[in-house]
């Protein structure tokens, strides 16, 4: 349903994701642009968090939008649009990871954070700034390589929960598993992160 | 301390996902179990660090991103839709490689099999007159080389790349001597 919204004296009509999806199925280019506007940042961020690099995150999130355009007619509105779309995105991320693993076995090129001999923490930043910011940056940088060590399902489950605020039931819908399995993925993912960060 | 740790329910509890009954049970367990309290505290810390990590993801150049996406869309093949915007039944839709590709592949395999069988059959044919002449020429050339086997053997011994590379540096007299000796 379209919800009217007042902005700068003009009343703008804001379409729901379901309505936009229906219009995309009818090949409405404006609807597609609106949908990409609405979801591109979140989709890219989730892909980046799962895949860990910008190039793959860009390609995979774009591919998810292409799939959305191609298959919008299949969305029947029974599930939430975000669940449906993130299922496409997460599946693409997991496929991409499998491909990356295959390539990395053949071409073991070390990327940043891949080298186990590197110190697990970054040296103190020269930039002036609050100490708390530096500590946060440090913990964030320690988290990324730790996240990379989780299984694809665990990583997706943990990130869907923290990043998208998905409930266990929604994570289960994205990963096509039971709610209990989704909870196990989250629990094991966080336990593994805790273990890895303690060992640092 | 309760016998069973509600390990997989700790995060749903922290996020307020549990129903009233389950929530009460987890709270009761946490009151009694130091191990689960510690797990819940560290899970809270990790979840908050993860939410910060998410915020720290570098944003791409969105203009370039959208241009790239439009280019990819142009090369994408939208699935057929009916008048109501619904996809047509996909039961008979061709897979990515398509039935024509399968037919072409089968035809190519059949052609290859025919060529192989024909070729194998022609192996016992007697050569034509032109082919015989060519074989005679090649044979005599081989015999000529064998007749001068000593020269060939000597040339083979000269196959020293150091010597070959520095032939130009030899003095004219040396080169003549070298040629005469060979």
Nearest-CA distance A157 → chain B (Å): 12
Are the beta carbons of A194 and B78 separated by less than 8 Å?
no
The CA distance from A95 to B85, in Å, is 29
Give me the residues of B, 149-178, that contact A with CB < 8 A. none
DSSP state of A6: E
Are the beta carbons of A27 and B81 separated by less than 8 Å?
yes
pLDDT in tens, chain A (200 residues): 566 665 555 556 688 999 999 999 999 999 999 999 999 999 999 999 899 889 999 999 999 999 999 999 999 888 889 999 999 999 999 999 888 766 555 544 434 334 433 333 333 344 445 565 666 667 677 888 888 899 989 999 999 998 888 999 999 999 999 999 999 999 999 999 999 888 76
Are the beta carbons of B17 and A186 separated by less than 8 Å?
no
pLDDT > 50? residue B178: yes
Most trustworthy range by pLDDT among B28-42, B66-80, B88-102, B167-181: B28-42
Hey, how many other C-beta atoms are within 10 angstroms of the C-beta on A89? Answer: 26
Query: Residue B56: its pLDDT value, please?
Result: 77
Most trustworthy range by pLDDT among A27-41, B72-86, B114-128: A27-41
Hey, how many other C-beta atoms are within 10 angstroms of the C-beta on A87? Answer: 16
DSSP state of B168: G
Q: What is the pTM of this model?
A: 0.62
Query: Residue A89: its pLDDT value, please?
Result: 96
Q: Which residue has the tokens 């996406």?
A: B69
As a whole number, the mean pLDDT across chain B is: 71
The three-point CA angle A11-A17-A20 to 5° equals 75
B72 touches A at CB < 8 Å: yes
Helix (H) or strand (E) holding A116: none
Give me the residues of A, 52-91, that contact B with CB < 8 A. 54, 57-58, 62-63, 65-66, 69-71, 73-74
Cα first-last separation, chain B? 101
The three-point CA angle B21-B27-B33 to 5° equals 135
- Mean pLDDT of all residues in B9-27: 93
Query: Residue A133: its pLDDT value, please?
Result: 61
Query: Residue A42: its pLDDT value, please?
Result: 93
User: Tell me, what's the ipTM?
Assistant: 0.76
Greater confidence, B56 or A117? B56
Non-local CB neighbours of A22 within 8 Å, separated by 6+ positions: A72, B85
pLDDT > 60? residue B70: yes
Nearest-CA distance A17 → chain B (Å): 16
A184 touches B at CB < 8 Å: yes
């Amino acid at each position: 349903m379209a919800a009217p919204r007042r902005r700068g004296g003009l009343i703008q009509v804001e379409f729901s994701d379901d309505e936009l999806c229906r219009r995309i199925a009818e090949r409405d280019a404006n609807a597609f642009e609106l949908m990409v506007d609405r979801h591109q940042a979140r989709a890219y961020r989730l892909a980046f968090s799962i895949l860990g690099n910008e190039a793959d995150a860009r390609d995979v999130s774009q591919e998810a939008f292409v799939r959305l355009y191609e298959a919008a007619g299949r969305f029947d509105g029974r599930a939430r649009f975000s669940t449906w779309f993130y299922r496409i995105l997460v599946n693409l991320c997991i496929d991409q990871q499998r491909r990356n693993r295959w390539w990395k076995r053949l071409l073991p090129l070390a990327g940043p954070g891949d080298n186990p001999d590197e110190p697990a923490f970054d040296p103190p930043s020269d930039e002036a700034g609050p100490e708390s910011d530096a500590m946060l940056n440090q913990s964030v940088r320690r988290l990324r390589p730790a996240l990379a060590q989780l299984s694809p399902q665990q990583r997706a489950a943990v990130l869907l929960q923290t990043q998208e605020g998905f409930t266990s039931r929604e994570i289960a819908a994205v990963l096509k598993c039971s709610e209990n399995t989704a909870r196990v993925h989250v629990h094991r993912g966080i336990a593994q992160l805790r273990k890895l960060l303690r060992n640092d | 301390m309760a016998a069973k740790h509600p390990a997989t329910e700790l995060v749903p509890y922290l996020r307020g996902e549990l129903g009233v009954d389950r929530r009460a049970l987890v709270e009761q367990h946490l009151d009694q179990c130091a191990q689960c309290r510690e797990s819940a505290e560290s899970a809270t810390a990790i979840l908050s660090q993860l939410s910060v990590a998410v915020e720290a993801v570098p944003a791409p150049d969105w203009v370039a991103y959208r241009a790239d996406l439009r280019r990819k869309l142009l090369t994408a093949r939208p699935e057929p839709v009916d008048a109501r915007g619904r996809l047509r039944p996909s039961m008979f839709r061709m897979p990515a490689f398509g039935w024509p590709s399968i037919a072409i592949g089968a035809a190519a395999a059949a052609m290859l099999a025919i060529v192989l069988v024909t070729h194998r059959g022609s192996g016992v044919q007697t050569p034509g007159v032109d082919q015989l002449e060519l074989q005679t020429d090649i044979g005599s050339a081989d015999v000529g080389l064998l007749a001068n086997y000593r020269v060939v053997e000597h040339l083979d011994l000269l196959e020293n790349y150091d010597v070959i590379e520095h032939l130009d540096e030899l003095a004219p007299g040396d080169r003549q001597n070298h040629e005469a000796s060979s």
